[in-house]
Amino acid sequence: MPVIERTYSVSGMTCGHCADSISEEVGDVAGVMAVDVDLAAARMVVRSHGVSDYAVLAAVTEAGYTATRS
């Protein structure tokens, strides 16, 4: 299965702990291989084996933040 890379805009992050929380929550989604959260740019890049946007966005919401696909 090919690796798909998607970029999301994330709002509500104010510190490194916020970025770590999002990274951990999204990283726990089955099929996610890597999560890179850029606090300064308010952006997140997710590399996965076809994980849906819904699953990624739900994980961000679970962490207490809001995201949209860029």
**Residue 63: closest CA among 6, 10, 9, 7:** 10
DSSP-derived secondary structure letter, 41: T
Domains, the chain, with CATH or none = 4-69 (3.30.70.100)
Indicate the pLDDT class of residue 35, thresholds 50, 70 and 90: very high
Give pLDDT, residue 1: 78
Provide CB contacts within 8 A for 7, sequence distance 6+: 43, 44, 45, 46, 69, 70
**pTM of the model as a whole:** 0.94
The C-alpha atoms of residue 1 and residue 17 are separated, in whole angstroms, by 32
50 contact partners, CB below 8 Å, separation of at least 6: 1, 2, 4, 31
The per-residue pLDDT for range 8-23, each reduced to its tens digit, is 999 999 999 999 999 9
